[in-house]
A and B are shown apart, each in its own frame.
Chain A
Amino acid sequence: MTTTTRIARHHYDVVVIGAGGAGLRAAIEARLAGKKTAIISKSLFGKAHTVMAEGGAAAAMGNVNSRDNWQVHFRDTMRGGKFLNNFRMAELHAKESPQRIWELETYGALFDRTKDGKISQRNFGGHEYPRLAHVGDRTGLELIRTLQQKIVSLQQEDQREFGSYDARIRVFSETTITELMLDGDRIAGAFGYYRESGEFILFEAPAVVLATGGVGRSYKVTSNSWEYTGDGHALALRAGATLINMEFLQFHPTGMVWPPSVKGILVTESVRGDGGVLKNSDGKRFMFDYVPDVFRKQYAETEEEADRWYTDPDNNRRPPELLPRDEVARAINSEVKAGRGSPAGGVFLDIASRRSSDEIRRRLPSMYHQFKELADVDITAEPMEVGPTCHYVMGGVEVDPDSGAAFGHVRGLFAAGEVSGGMHGSNRLGGNSLSDLLVFGKRAGGHAASYADGLDARPRVAVNAVEAAVETALAPLQRDTGESPYTLQQDLQAVMGDLVGIIRREGELADALVRLAELRERVAKVSAAGGRRYNPGWHLALDLRNMLVVSECTAKAALERQESRGGHTREDYPAMEPKWRQVNLVCSLDGDTVQLTRKPLPKMRPELIGLFDRAELAKYLTDEELADFDALVADAGEADNR
């Protein structure tokens, strides 16, 4: 085998890894700051997983209910995340998302409208007011297409000015990054391969923005595409950055479980927001039995009240079908375990018997169309069979809230979107991800640009690091004694799905860690048949080690956190513990081993904690924290009296 390999070299100011909503928004910002920017996409341009988002983008514009504002949105986000969110990220997100949405209209986006011509907003689980800007149920597609077309328009500007579309912003489609290059503790570039040709490519750039999305391909039932192999998480770890909150995975409560052609595909919460209800095999609307105490006040107790809410939300409480996702997922899981599930191991989601066929088709057009075509299921005529599906990872790269710069011992690395952690705490509200992409994509892109500006000298890529990266990348092709990457992926998915799934137990988690260690040995010896040209087996073999290290983080953190909160449910510790709310679990890499440390959460600023009722805070905070809060309120009261 040859040791000399052609490597295409490119020089950029900012390299954005990932071409979903966060990546594209970051790239736009870096290019607007005048930086030469590369966008690296594992798929074709415009195919990123963002297209799957259906519900909408949450932004407190107050177009439908004028009482909505950023404070209310902030409160909802913190509640949804069970107060484990990085409060500063939640604050920035709530404050800036309206501007980010309005900006999209100047790029050409066409959202659905209110009667007075503004952007329409819809109800969604966990949001107090109608807040989600949407386009039917294909909001994610609109978002990605709009950003894609904005990039094209910037390229057209550059074509006019410099005679080349690629002068200042270029998309490298079907390109995978396998390593980040370092110069000491500074980012010096990124190394990867073109999927099409299998040839290698080296980007020399002082600033890298990770926007690679999530980790769902490590699970058996997932809504995520093949791209979601935790690349950004793993790249960050190997570059010396840290991950937080990796134990928190969102299982979407309503993924299709039958038929197999649509298994894992999500049924948007809008189905429930628009009147759909969950029933078990006895035909009982069971969600009323699963309203936790913290939410008791906001949710209806009878079917009659719940049904009135759809038309009169001001005078009635919400139906319990609209509880946050983790609560709904847990309820479905309990029903199935109690033997009241559907034939395929889910429950029934029924909108057919509650809304007219025309209305369903009008309000949920692509949902209707998708199931009709994919599975010959008519959602206007029969209930759907749904169950929990791995959907979103709350955990991710630990970042500075304002700039998106990664913590740990690396400089020049930024992260935005699903790959970053902290914003959503222990559980993400529906609709907050699309606005998260825009708000923090813009911030990461802008701060990466100014970081690149502030350097006196460009970091250099070391030759031996490139050689090592080439060797690692070619290794699976050169071995022919190892196992197939597909077998290894199936085994990894089985371990994660069965032992680190939606409901977790100490024994199983410990067992998972043992099995992951075994898998690590096997993955190190994986072999891929065929050549370098568009070889999916080889690509998967290279992705496996990322999936593996991220799975280890999840399993370790899940074993450590002895409570249940948001996207982390421990059967042996079913309660939420105020003590644990003060702790973030931080993963880092020491050699090959995942290290776990505890880190205190930043303390919320007085004016922000003051937005909450004491009664609500009492469910989340420790006694000492509550005493602090009381002192704060007393101080404020005195200040008012003076």
Chain B
Amino acid sequence: MSAKRQFRIWRGDETGGDLQDYMVEVNEGEVVLDVIHRLQATDAPDLACRWNCKAGKCGSCSMEINGKPRLGCMTRMSTFGDDETVTVTPLRTFPVIRDLVTDVSFNYVKARETPAFAPPADVAPGDYRMQQVDVERSQEFRKCIECFLCQTVCHVVRDHEENKQAFSGPRYFIRAAELDMHPLDTKTDRKEYAQAEQGLGFCNITKCCTEVCPEHIKITDNGIIPMKERVVDRRYDPLVWLGSKIFRRGETPQTSVTTARPGTATSGSARGGLHSHSGGSHDPRAEAQAQRGVNWDREVPHPTAPAVDDRGRLPLTELTFDRAAAPSPFGDDVTFPLPPEHLNFAHPEQDKH
């Protein structure tokens, strides 16, 4: 049983684009991704769309279908009316690369900033013991397939590009919650980190993320709210409040993790929105880079501060250095002159010849 159905699909790239109409054959039991594949094989061979498993397990085919963020492989055609037009657009929160493919590197940047699992130092591999009931809480969040639908639907960043620097989004709140609830994780300030560094405070619990989650993770109820509650517990704990009256400002036992990182300024920690979120780097160029999102194509070497000693000097002398003379600024494995084929240079006019 097949019928022709009306599809409107956004085609274009970062310079602009528009919705294009397609009439396409749809068979019984198909999902939106099946239809997009048919379009690729017929009318639109270069229609760009990410997909992998076509089974709702990899989270690649995220798109907005009739305005709602969904997985193309999990949206059955039978959920639409017989003559309903299906409109497919790319995720709105992320920059378009082409057609339905967006630059989701924002999420990978935030993932890299979230502190990793900290294993217990005194437990050997094979000796980990945990009860099922204790691992289940974290396991719920580990079901996440990283489709980033929660990230795209979240109103904090959906129409507010300026919040992206300070806000990690629901996916990374549940990552923090997962590690916070991990029975053997030894890092104890996950909640404070979420508050101070991930922008947990921006979330005002509209639960849109929970609503779009294809894995039905209770992002808000089981992840975000418990994290917020426990941060509040600590912040408004009367003993902590009393302590802050007794100790001088700056000596207070801080709830913010920024104090735990040497060399980090604490001044901006009062409000997440003002604070730096470029992965602990305090190099302005690296920050600017992080704000633009990582460009996976180009390696931008980050200048690193010299490791100076107590007196502010480099701990290097010609006597202690491991080779004769100064190191080559180009790297010691490069010999000059470079062979021309190794030069990565394109003359601006070369394409005209």
Give me the interface of A with B, judged by CB distance under 8 Å.
2, 4, 6-11, 43-49, 51-52, 61, 98-99, 102-103, 105-108, 110-113, 116-118, 120, 135-136, 138, 141-142, 145, 149-150, 152-153, 155-156, 159-160, 162-166, 170-174, 194, 196-197, 199, 201, 225-227, 258-262, 264-265, 366, 369-370, 373-376, 463, 466, 484-487, 490, 528-531, 533-538
On whether the beta carbons of A260 and B28 are closer than 8 Å, the reply is: yes
Nearest residue in B to A103 (C-beta to C-beta)? B125
CA of A162 to CA of B281 in the docked complex: distance in angstroms? Answer: 11
- Known A2-B351, A4-B351, A533-B48; 9 more pairs at CB < 8 Å: A4-B346, A117-B131, A141-B143, A226-B52, A369-B216, A370-B57, A485-B45, A487-B41, A536-B40
* Contact (A113, B74) CB under 8 Å given A102-B125, A262-B55, A529-B45: no
Whether, in the assembled complex, B230 has its beta carbon less than 8 Å from a beta carbon of chain A, the answer is no
On whether the beta carbons of B74 and A537 are closer than 8 Å, the reply is: no
On whether the beta carbons of A528 and B116 are closer than 8 Å, the reply is: no
CA of A167 to CA of B144 in the docked complex: distance in angstroms? Answer: 28
CA of A49 to CA of B299 in the docked complex: distance in angstroms? Answer: 27
CA of A194 to CA of B41 in the docked complex: distance in angstroms? Answer: 22
Whether, in the assembled complex, B13 has its beta carbon less than 8 Å from a beta carbon of chain A, the answer is yes
Nearest residue in B to A106 (C-beta to C-beta)? B119
Q: Which residues from chain A contact B346 at a C-beta distance below 8 Å?
A: 4, 6
How far is the CB of B183 from the nearest CB of chain A, in Å? 9
Whether, in the assembled complex, B249 has its beta carbon less than 8 Å from a beta carbon of chain A, the answer is no
Of the A-B pairs whose beta carbons lie under 8 Å apart in the complex, a sample of 18, sorted by A's number, is A6-B346, A47-B146, A99-B126, A108-B116, A112-B132, A120-B132, A152-B116, A153-B116, A162-B304, A163-B305, A170-B299, A194-B296, A259-B29, A260-B34, A374-B55, A486-B41, A529-B46, A537-B45
Give residues of chain B (26-83) contacting chain A, Cβ–Cβ below 8 Å. 27-31, 34, 40-41, 45-60, 73-74, 76, 78
CA of A136 to CA of B145 in the docked complex: distance in angstroms? Answer: 15
Nearest residue in A to B54 (C-beta to C-beta)? A225
- Considering only CB atoms and an 8 Å cut-off, how many residues of chain B contact the other chain? 85
On whether the beta carbons of B108 and A261 are closer than 8 Å, the reply is: no
Q: Which residues from chain A contact B51 at a C-beta distance below 8 Å?
A: 225-226
CA of A375 to CA of B75 in the docked complex: distance in angstroms? Answer: 9
On whether the beta carbons of B112 and A152 are closer than 8 Å, the reply is: yes
Q: Which residues from chain A contact B114 at a C-beta distance below 8 Å?
A: 152
Q: Which residues from chain A contact B332 at a C-beta distance below 8 Å?
A: none
On whether the beta carbons of A197 and B297 are closer than 8 Å, the reply is: yes
Nearest residue in B to A144 (C-beta to C-beta)? B58
Q: Which residues from chain B contact A11 at a C-beta distance below 8 Å?
A: 333
On whether the beta carbons of A261 and B34 are closer than 8 Å, the reply is: yes
Nearest residue in A to B77 (C-beta to C-beta)? A261
Q: Which residues from chain A contact B310 at a C-beta distance below 8 Å?
A: none
Interface of B is mostly: loop
Q: Chain A CB within 10 Å — which of B45, B115, B216 has the most? A: B45
On whether the beta carbons of A375 and B116 are closer than 8 Å, the reply is: no
Whether, in the assembled complex, B128 has its beta carbon less than 8 Å from a beta carbon of chain A, the answer is yes
* Contact (A159, B27) CB under 8 Å given A43-B52, A374-B55, A530-B45: no
CA of A196 to CA of B55 in the docked complex: distance in angstroms? Answer: 23
Among B29, B55, B144, contact of A52 (Cβ-Cβ < 8 Å): B55
Q: Which residues from chain B contact A47 at a C-beta distance below 8 Å?
A: 52, 58-60, 146
Among A52, A98, A99, contact of B53 (Cβ-Cβ < 8 Å): A52
CA of A194 to CA of B298 in the docked complex: distance in angstroms? Answer: 11
CA of A46 to CA of B108 in the docked complex: distance in angstroms? Answer: 10
Interface stretch of the complex, out of B95-103, B201-209, B311-319: B95-103
Whether, in the assembled complex, B191 has its beta carbon less than 8 Å from a beta carbon of chain A, the answer is no
CA of A366 to CA of B143 in the docked complex: distance in angstroms? Answer: 9
Nearest residue in B to A108 (C-beta to C-beta)? B117
Among B13, B45, B128, contact of A484 (Cβ-Cβ < 8 Å): B45
Q: Which residues from chain A contact B280 at a C-beta distance below 8 Å?
A: 159-160
Q: Which residues from chain B contact A6 at a C-beta distance below 8 Å?
A: 344, 346
Nearest residue in B to A116 (C-beta to C-beta)? B129
Whether, in the assembled complex, B342 has its beta carbon less than 8 Å from a beta carbon of chain A, the answer is yes
On whether the beta carbons of B60 and A43 are closer than 8 Å, the reply is: yes
